[in-house]
Amino acid sequence: MGIFDRYLLRIFLRVLLVCFVSITGLYIVIDAFNNLDEFLNYGRQEGSLASVLVEYYSARIPWFFDRTGGLLTLIAAMFAVTWLQRTQELTALQAAGVSKSRVIRVLVGGAICVSLLGVVNRELVIPSLREKLTRNAQDWRGENGNRLDPARDNQNEMLIYGRSTFANERRIDGPSFLFDRALPGFGQRLVASNAYYRDPEGDRPGGYLLVGVQEPENAAKIRSCVVQGRPVVLSPCDTKWLKPSECFVPSNMDFNQLAGGSAWRRMSSVPELIAGLRNPSLDFGLDARVAIHSRLLQPMLDMTLFFLGLPLVLSRDNRNIFLAAGMCLLVVMLFMSVTAACQMLGDRGYLLSPSLAAWLPLLIFVPTATAVSFPIYE
Q: Can you give the pLDDT at residue 131?
A: 83
Q: What is the pLDDT of residue 316?
A: 58
Domain that holds residue 7: 3-134+285-377
Count of domains in the chain? 2
Q: Are residues 107 and 8 in the same domain?
A: yes
Would you say residue 277 lies in a domain? no
Shared-domain flag, residues 130 and 157: no
pLDDT score, position 49: 84
Q: What is the pLDDT of residue 241?
A: 87
Q: What's the rounded Cα separation, in Å, for the pair 124 and 295? A: 13
Asked whether residue 141 is assigned to any structural domain, the reply reads no
Residues 6+ apart with CB under 8 A from 133: 59, 60, 63, 126, 263, 267
Residues in the chain predicted with pLDDT less than 50, given as ranges, are none
Same domain, 180 and 119: no
158 and 121, same structural domain? no
What DSSP assignment string belongs to 319-343? --HHHHHHHHHHHHHHHHHHHHHHH
90 in the same domain as 47: yes
What is the pLDDT, as a whole number, of residue 197? 93
Q: How far apart are CA 8 and CA 76, in angstroms?
A: 11
Give the whole-angstrom CA distance, residue 314 versus residue 207.
Answer: 59
> Does residue 218 form part of some domain?
yes
- Check residue 324 and give its pLDDT: 65
Q: Is residue 268 part of a domain?
A: no
Residues 156 and 129 in one domain: no
Residue 102's pLDDT is what?
Answer: 81
